[in-house]
Amino acid sequence: MTAEFTHADRKDGIRKTVLILVAIIAVLVGLFFNRAFTPRILSPVEMVNNGAVIFSTPREISAFNLLDQYSEPFTLERLQDKWTFVFFGFTHCPDICPTTLALFNSLSDKLQDTDFFADTQFLLVSLDPARDTPEALKTYIRYFNPAFVGVTGDFLPLRKMATQLNVAFQKVVTNHETGDYTIDHGGNVALINPQGHYHGFYKPPLDANKMALTYKSVRMSNR
């Protein structure tokens, strides 16, 4: 009788031990995934190591008057009340521009299920207004994501905006007989905060996962 009781008691003890171990493992796994997927504020070194340079004091941007892909006015006010990723490029760009817009699309997907998606916008500013009409931009932008914004306008205000956001560019003639040309330009992505100020930038090589990580950190630190 005692042996039977002891044997049953031992089995019951083992069962309880297993249940406790399973519960502990479940808690540890939960903590791991919570830490892995919960946004956290990164240190300045972590930010730079992940390609993001955030200014200690955001920089003001001068007023401008441009047009979006629907020929609607695009002014500084359109950068307010949202966080904006800004890339300068052009529709005839053979490599970095389509690559960056595809990356924007991937980044947008990564933010879609977060609290940060609704007030985030993605902006392509043309450095080639002679060819990039609003209609040309609309066709080009639609290929990547119709929610993105394309901006064009007169050359001088576009150049001023690019200068303020630290984007160097120049026209390079590729065929003197036909007048064909391309635009050499930097690959940084600027980040504009809801006050319409230049908040920082992302430097190449760009990576959607790293940009999502650092952007979430920026948003957490600005709540």
Residue 71: predicted pLDDT: 98
Residue 33: predicted pLDDT: 40
Of 83, 71, 66, 195, the C-alpha closest to 126 is 66
Q: Is there a contact between 200 and 52 (Cβ–Cβ < 8 Å)?
A: yes
Length of the chain, please?
Answer: 223
Residue 5: predicted pLDDT: 54
Q: Is 9 helix (H, G, I), strand (E, B) or coil?
A: helix
Question: Under CATH, which number does the domain 44-221 receive?
Answer: 3.40.30.10
Residue 3: predicted pLDDT: 52
For the chain, the structural domain boundaries read 44-221
Backbone angles phi, psi at 185, to 5 degrees: -155, 160
Using 70 as the pLDDT threshold, list the residues of the chain that sit under it.
1-39
**What is the value of pTM for the model shown?**
0.83
Count the alpha carbons within 13 Å of 196 in the hemisphere toward its beta carbon: 13
Structure tokens given for 113:
């299920």
Q: Is 157 helix (H, G, I), strand (E, B) or coil?
A: helix
Residue 180: predicted pLDDT: 96
> For the segment 130-173, what is each residue's pLDDT rounded down to a tens digit?
999 999 999 999 999 999 999 999 999 999 999 999 999 999 99
Q: Which helix (H) or strand (E) holds 37?
A: helix 2-37
Residue type, 1: M
Catalogue the E-assigned strands of 112-168.
Answer: 120-126, 149-152
Residue 40: predicted pLDDT: 86
